[in-house]
Amino acid sequence: LAEKAWASRDQHATTRDGHRMEICANLGETAKAVEAVEAGAEGVGLLRTEFVFMAQSSAPGLEAQIAEYKKAIDALDGRPLVARTLDVGGDKPLPYWPVPKEENPFLGVRGIRLCMQKPELLETQLRALLTAAGDQPIRIMFPMVADWSEWRWAKDMFDKVQAEVQAKDVQVGIMVEVPSAALNAQVFAEEADFFSIGTNDLTQYTLAVDRGNGELASLSDGLNPAVLRLIKMTVDAAHAKGKWVGVCGELGSDPKALPLLVGLGVDELSVSLKRVPMVKAQVRDWSLSACQQLAEQALLASDANAVRALVGEAK
Ligand code: PEP
Ligand code: MG
């Protein structure tokens, strides 16, 4: 099966009844963009840019960042790059950026909240991303947006930089990984060009389960109907405004989740690059109508195990 998937990796991921999904790769370093394209990825759906900031003992400058992002943009050769701006926090401090120790770092100053304390850091990153893109497609998204004020601040910063740089093909979006962002998606969809659902954190915050706590691993399941409902709210709100939605968390490469994400109307899946050929092959094995039926049933299920059983019966 893996061989067959690899052989067809450059074909589109289209369901039996003709519904096309976009399949992209998650990257933690720009050097891997070449491999992503080789694996059949239609773009990079999540570039975790932390590596640019963690690799050294001082903040990376504009030119160094431009050179780094250009590696991915050049390798993608016209395919879109979705870059997430710096997402560090109390549990992952930067050596050159001391932050006070927090009781609950996952609920503390992380993601976009941390950038709000060092605006010049985000400003330089945005300038580097937009400059590196030039006339190639770039999508920029902000991590851990929970409140309108955070989006407002980040979007204003983006608008200011874009007015100067004027990248040609750019969209600006929000990572939906805090339940409030999904619950308020209707409002965010007025302004954001797209959403990308980070199911790792969305699951953690919806179920109050630390994503790194192995003891709670069985509870930490993104197929919990509560998480699926938040995904549905996000998709419905986005589509009502003509915006697109991706999923960039681990759930996207779970074969049991795949038909549900398709059925809920997710437009793009971004998975680790090794999984790209298989996810494309799996999409081809379902029909949209079957996926939609399954999704409807899953939303009414009692828990994640019931959802998994449902999908198991259907295949
Ligand atoms: C997520 O939270 O699902 C996500 C994609 O971001 P990260 O895993 O980097 O927190
Ligand atoms: Mg996250």
DSSP structure string for 67-89: HHHHHHHHHHTTS-EEEE----B
Cβ of 50 less than 6 Å from ligand 1: no
Q: Is the dihedral of CA 31, 121, 210, 187 positive or negative?
A: negative
Q: Write down the pLDDT at residue 92.
A: 75
End-to-end CA distance of the chain: 16
Pocket test for ligand 1, best of 88, 112, 178, 201 (most atoms within 8 A of CB): 201
CA dihedral defined by 206, 45, 246, 77, rounded to 10 degrees? 170
Q: Show the tokens assigned to 56.
A: 């050294």
Residue 246: helix, strand or coil by DSSP? strand
Atom of ligand 1 at shortest range from CA of 200: 3
Counting ligands in written order, the one closest to the CA of 197 is: 1
Question: What's the CA-to-centroid distance between 144 and ligand 1, angstroms?
Answer: 9
Atom of ligand 1 at shortest range from CA of 201: 2
Q: Write down the pLDDT at residue 90.
A: 67
Cβ of 294 less than 6 Å from ligand 1: no
Cβ of 248 less than 6 Å from ligand 1: yes
Q: Write down the pLDDT at residue 95.
A: 83
Residue ID of nearest Cα to ligand 1 atom 6: 198
Distance, CA of 308 to CA of 59 (rounded, Å): 44
pLDDT by position in tens, the chain (length 315):
899 999 999 999 999 999 999 999 999 999 999 999 999 999 999 999 999 998 888 999 999 999 999 999 999 999 999 999 999 986 777 888 888 889 999 999 999 999 999 999 999 999 999 999 999 999 999 999 999 999 999 999 999 999 999 999 999 999 999 999 999 999 999 999 999 999 999 999 999 999 999 999 999 999 999 999 999 999 999 999 999 999 999 999 999 999 999 999 999 999 999 999 999 999 999 999 999 999 999 999 999 999 999 999 998
Distance, CA of 65 to CA of 124 (rounded, Å): 9
| Residue 112 CB neighbours (<10 A) | 23
DSSP structure string for 35-57: HHHHTT-SSEEEEETHHHHHSSS
Pocket test for ligand 1, best of 48, 234, 251 (most atoms within 8 A of CB): 48
Cβ of 199 less than 6 Å from ligand 1: yes
Cross-strand bridge partners of residue 271 = 25
Residues near 9 by Cβ (< 8 Å), separated by ≥ 6? 39, 40, 276, 277, 280
Cβ of 200 less than 6 Å from ligand 1: yes
The amino acid at residue 193 is D
Q: Write down the pLDDT at residue 81.
A: 98
